[in-house]
Amino acid sequence: MTGHPQKIYSEEEYLEKERMADYKSEYYRGEIFAMPGAGFNHIRITENLSGQFFVRFSDKSCCGYSSDLRVHIPANSLKPILIF
């Protein structure tokens, strides 16, 4: 059985697909991975923690983010991308 070669996407191709997609995905070194949606309990925990971080760090020079923030990690070619 012969496998099909996997398509390697450029960062630009990924961004184009992500902006039009009905689901969230992650890009890693040319591959695109669909990400599962969060469940009710996961969302409740995330929002509760986000609220606590906001209160705790409101007088500090740092802050927390609840989710959906892309992070630049030069070692693996991930870049921060905001999609609206």
How do residues 28-81 score in pLDDT, each as one tens digit?
888 999 888 888 998 899 889 989 988 998 898 887 776 667 666 667 655 555
User: Whole-angstrom Cα distance, residue 63 to residue 71?
Assistant: 15
The stretch 14-32 carries a mean pLDDT of: 86
Which pTM does this prediction carry?
0.54
Coil, strand, or helix at residue 32? strand
pLDDT score for 84: 47
Tokens of 21: 């997609």
The more confident residue out of 38 and 13 is 13
3-state secondary structure of 48: helix
pLDDT score of 44: 92
Predicted confidence at residue 77, as pLDDT, reads 59
